[in-house]
Amino acid sequence: MKRRLAWLAAVLAQLALLGWIVASQERLRVTGRAVVLAIEPFDPIDPLSGRYLRIRARATRIDLAELHPGWNGEALEQHAEQFVGQEVAVTLRAAGERFEPEAVASTAYQEPGGSIVWLRGRVRSRYGAVLEIDYGLDRFFIPSDAADPSALLWQGGHELDIVVRVAVDGRSSIEDLLVDGKRYAEWNAAQGK
Amino acid sequence: MKREQLLEAVEKVEREGLLPAGQGAKVGSRLAELLFPPRDFARSAAAVVAWLGGILIAAGILSFVAANWETIGKTPKLALIFGTLAGLHFVGWRFAVEPGRHPALGHALIAAAMLSFGAAIGLVAQIYNLSSHYPRAILAWWLLTLPFPLLLQSRKLLLIPLALFLLWVHWHASVWIDDHRPSRGWWRDSELLAFGYLELGLGALLAAAAAGCRHVRFEGFAAPLAAIARLAVLAGLFILSFEDVGSGRLVNPEEGRRFEAARMHDLGILLGPAGCLAGAALLLGALVGVRRGARSGAAGAEQAPRRDLHELTDGGAALLAAIAAAATLLLLPPAAFLAANGLLLGAVVALVMRGTARQRPADVNLAVVAFLVTVMARYFEYVAKGAEPVLAFLGGGVLLLVLGAFLERKRRTWVLRAAGRAS
C-alpha cells in the first residue's frame, strides 16, 4: 500500500510538472500582452528535438551606444560589463506595429511597473558595448513537412517577426511567427497551393 | 567462484574430516543448487524481447513528438501524451507489481514510460516554443524518473536516470563554463582540463552513492554505480594526462604570475564544476560514514561491515587524486600532466592489486584496458607525432604486439588469481 502511494506520487509529480508548464503557458497566453518583435536570419532545423527554426530577435542584441548616444566608448564598455551574467529588464517601446528596446536595467534593484511592457532576460556576454541577452525566445517549432521561411530573408523584400506574449513580470513566450505579416500556419498553408 | 570450485572445496572439507564421510557429495550438490540456480534462458529472452518492445514504443513516441503533425491540434496532442504517459505507468505497474504476473513486460513498459516522460517534456516545449539556456529538461527528466527504479529496486531501470544524470552533469557544466569563461582569450583548450577534473569529482560522487547503497534495500545499485565511478576516475585522469590539454598561459603562466588574481579567478572557474561534485561527494560520504559508524557501534566493532568501505575508499581516492592534480596545476603547473600520468599509473596498479586480492577479475581487466589505452595515447602524443604515417602505424603496431604478448601472460595470471584459482 505504501509502495503504491509512493508510485502514485512519483507519477503525479511527472504529470504535475507537465501540467504546471502547460498551465503557466496558457495563463501567459490569456493574460499576457501581445507584442511583435522583428527577427534576424536564423539557422534551419535540429531534427533531434523536432523541427524548429532557430530565431534571434533583434532585441537579443542591444547596442548601448544607441541607447546612450552621448556616452564615450570607455564609459559604455564599463556600463555594459556590469550587466554581464545579470538578469535584466529590457523596456520596450512601440515603433509602428513592432516593439523595440528602449532601456536596459538590472532587475536586482527594481523591476519596471505593470504598466510598462518589458522583457526579463539574462545578459550572456558582451562585445564592446553590445549586450547579448537571452530571453528564452529562440525556438519556433514547425511541422516536419512544413515550409521553411528562412530562405526569404536572403531574398530580401520580406519581413519576419515573432508574436510574443509578455506577462506583467517580464516573462515571455513565443506565440507565433509572422511571415510578411501573415501568421505562420496561414503562410504555410498558402505555400502548398 | 564457480560450481566446480565449490564441489572441489566441499570434497576437500570432507577429506579433512569436517563433514561425515559420504555426505560431501550431497552437501556439495545442495550448495551448488542454492548458489548456482539453473539460468532460465527462456525468461531472459522474454525480458530482452519485452525491453526491445518498450524501447521501440518510446522511440515511436519520440518520433511522434519530432514529427509535430499540424493536423493534430494542441489539445489532442496534450491529451495523447498525458494519456500515454499515465497509461504506460498504470499498465507497467499492473504487470510488474500488482498483481505482477509479467514482471519483465511490466519493467519494459515502465522503462517506456520513463523515456516517454522526456518526450512529454519535449512536446510541451514544442507546443509553447520553449527553450532553456541550461538543460533543465534533462534535470527534470532524471530527477522525476529516479523514484521508479528506487521503488522497484531495478538495476536495469536505474540505468535510465543514471545515463540522464551523466548527460545533465556534462551538459550543465559545459554551459556554465561557457557562460563564465573569461573573454581574455587564454582559456579555450582549458575546457578539456575542466572536464578532466569534473570526471574525478563525478567519480567521487558516484563512489559515495555506491557506498550509500550498501547494506540497505538498494544493495543491487552499488555495483553499477561503483563501476561507472571507476570509469569516470580513469577517464578524468586520462584527459588530464595529455601535455597538450589546456592553453599555455593558464597551465604555464609567466614567471611571477602564478598566483596572479586573474589566474586564480580562471582556475576557480576551471575547477568550479568539479568542486561542486566533490563537495556533494564529501557530504554524501560523510553521511554514509556516520551511518556506518552508528551501525557498527550498535553491532559491535568486530561486526562492522568492511565490504562497504571499498566504495568509500574509492571515493576518497578519487577526491585525493583530484586534489593532488589541482594542487600540482596551482603550485607546479608544468608538472600537472606528469602528476596525472603518475596518478593514472597508480590507479591501474591499485586496481590490479585490489582485483587480485578481492577476487574481482573485472577490476583487473579494467586496469589492463586503461593501461593499454594510456600507453597508446602517449605513443601517438610523443613518438608518432611528426613521424611519417607509415612509420607511426608500424611503430604503433609493434608496440601493441609487444604489449599484447606481455599482457597475455600477465593478465591471465592476474585474472586467474583474481578468480581464486592461481596457486
A67-A97-B129-A61 Cα dihedral, nearest 10 degrees: -20
Please judge whether B180 and A141 are an interchain contact, meaning their C-beta atoms are less than 8 angstroms apart: no
Which H or E run contains B90? helix B74-96
Angle between helices B336-357 and B361-378 (to 10 degrees): 150
Q: What is the tens place of the pLDDT at every residue in B21-30?
A: 888 888 888 8
State the cell numbers at A92. 520596450
In the predicted structure, residue B294 carries a pLDDT above the cut 70? yes
Among A1, A5, A18, A77, most B C-beta atoms within 10 A, so best to mutate, is A18
Residue indicated by cell numbers 558595448 = A129
What is the rounded average pLDDT for all residues in chain B?
Answer: 81
Check whether residue A43 and residue A9 sit in a common domain: no
* Distance between A10 CA and the closest CA of chain B, angstroms: 6
pLDDT tier at A40, thresholds 50, 70, 90: low
Nearest by CB to residue A144, choosing from B68, B82, B147, is: B68
Nearest to A178 by CA among A29, A21, A57: A57
**Cβ density class A19-30: b for 16+ within 10 Å, e for less:** eebbeebeebee
SS3 B21: coil
At B26 the pLDDT is 84
Sign of CA dihedral B323, B325, B330, B335: positive
Residues A70 and A14 in one domain: no
Confidence check: pLDDT of B404 > 60: yes
Query: Quick check: B166 pLDDT over 50?
Result: yes
Cβ–Cβ gap A15/B82 under 8 Å:
yes
Residue B143: closest CA among chain A residues belongs to which residue?
A14
**Chain A residues touching residue B147 (CB < 8 angstroms):** 6-7, 9-10, 13
3-state secondary structure B355-374: HHHCCCHHHHHHHHHHHHHH
Average model confidence (pLDDT) for chain A?
Answer: 85
Q: Is the pLDDT of residue B51 over 70?
A: yes
Strand runs labelled E in B76-179: none
Closest residue in B to A14 (Cα) is B144
Q: Summarize pLDDT for A96-143 with one digit per residue, the tens.
A: 888 989 889 988 877 887 788 999 999 988 888 899 999 988 888 888
Contact B213, B221 (CB under 8 A): yes
Pick from B158, B186, B205, B294: nearest CA to B246: B186
DSSP A51-117: SEEE-EEGGGEEEHHHH-TTS-HHHHHHHHHTTTT-EEEEEEEEETTEEEEEEEEETTT-PPPTTS-
User: Region B277-306: what's the mean pLDDT?
Assistant: 76
Which sequence spans correspond to the domains of chain B? 3-35, 50-171
- Output the CA–CA distances (angstroms, integers) from residue B397 to A177, B373, B400, B406, in the order listed: 58, 13, 5, 14
- What DSSP state is assigned to residue A125? E
* Contact A106/B at CB under 8 A: no
> Which residues on neighbouring strands pair with residue A174, listed in sequence order?
A164
Q: Which residue has the higher pLDDT, B304 or B165?
A: B165
**Mutation site for B-interface testing, chosen from A2, A7, A84, A188 by largest number of B Cβ within 10 Å:** A7
Specify the number of domains making up chain A: 2
Query: Which pLDDT score, from 0 to 100, does residue B18 have?
Result: 84
Confirm or reject contact between A144 and chain B (CB < 8 A): yes
What gap in Å lies between CA B79 and CA B70, rounded to an integer? 15
Q: Other C-beta atoms within 10 Å of B323: how many?
A: 12
**Nearest-Cα residue of chain A relative to residue B92:** A7
Continuous segment of H or E residues that includes residue A166: strand A160-166
- Reported confidence tier of residue A164, pLDDT bands at 50, 70, 90: very high
Query: Which pLDDT belongs to residue B422?
Result: 46
Q: Are residues A2 and A50 in the same domain?
A: no
Is any Cβ of chain B less than 8 angstroms from the Cβ of A5? no
Q: Are residues A3 and A61 in the same domain?
A: no
Instruction: State yes or no: pLDDT of B235 exceeds 70.
Output: yes
The CA–CA distances, whole Å, from B43 to B49, B157, B158 equal 10, 18, 20
User: Out of A188-192, B256-260, B345-349, which region has the weakest mean confidence (pLDDT)?
Assistant: B256-260
C-alpha cell at B336: 600537472
Q: CA B24, CA B8: separation in Å to the nearest integer?
A: 10
* Rounded-to-integer distance, Cα A56 and Cα B113, Å: 35
pLDDT band at A47 (very low <50, low <70, confident <90, very high): very low
How much is the CA Rg of chain A, to the nearest whole Å?
A: 20
Could you read off the pLDDT of A2-15 as tens digits, one per residue?
Answer: 888 899 999 999 99
Same domain, A96 and A156: yes
What kind and span of H or E run contains B124? helix B103-127
CA dist., res. B341 & res. B344, Å (int) = 5
> Cell numbers 500500500 correspond to what residue?
A1
Contacts of B89 in chain A (CB under 8 A): 7, 11
B304 in Cβ contact with B175 (< 8 Å): no
Domain that holds residue A162: 33-191
Cβ partners under 8 Å of residue B418, min gap 6: B355, B356, B358, B359, B360, B361, B363, B364
The share of chain B scoring above pLDDT 90, in percent, equals: 18
Predicted ipTM beyond 0.85: no
A171 Rama class: left (phi>0) / alpha (psi -120 to 50) / beta: beta
Quote the minimal CA–CA distance from A157 to chain B in Å. 26
* pLDDT at B423 (0 to 100): 43
- B58 compared with B200, residue with greater pLDDT: B200
Same domain for A61 and A1: no
Half-sphere exposure of A117 (CA within 13 A, CB side): 19
Cα B182 to Cα A64, A124, B175, B266, distances in angstroms: 21, 12, 13, 7
In Å, how far is B162's CA from the nearest CA of chain A? 17
* B contacts of A45 (beta carbons < 8 Å): none
> Of B65 and B213, which is predicted with more confidence?
B213
Task: Tell me how far CA of residue A27 lies from CA of A21, B74, B123, B141, B346, in angstroms.
Answer: 10, 15, 18, 24, 59
CA-based nearest residue in chain B for residue A126: B183
> Looking at the predicted structure, is the pLDDT value of residue A43 above 60?
no
Cα–Cα distance measured from residue A118 to residue A109, given in angstroms and rounded to the nearest whole number:
15
The pTM of this model reads 0.78
Do A26 and A45 belong together in one domain?
no
Residue B100 above 90 pLDDT? no
Nearest to B124 among A21, A139, A140 (CB): A21
- Tell me the DSSP string of A9-63: HHHHHHHHHHHHHHHHHHHHHHHSEEEEEEEE------GGG-SEEE-EEGGGEEE
In a shared domain, residues A21 and A43: no
| pLDDT higher at B301 or B389 | B389
Task: Indicate if A64 and A47 belong to the same structural domain.
Answer: yes
What pLDDT, on a 0 to 100 scale, did the predictor assign at position A48?
47
B209 with B284: CB under 8 angstroms? Answer: yes
Q: Is A144 found in the same domain as A71?
A: yes
A141 shares a domain with A100: yes
For B31-66, give the DSSP string: HHHHHSPPP-HHHHHHHHHHHHHHHHHHHHHHHHHH
Query: Are A78 and A132 in a shared domain?
Result: yes
* pLDDT tens for each residue of B298-327: 665 555 555 556 777 777 777 788 787 777
pLDDT band at residue A42 using 50, 70 and 90 as cut-offs:
low
Q: Do residues A11 and A154 touch, judged by C-beta distance below 8 A?
A: no
Of A13, A47, A188, the CB nearest to B144: A13
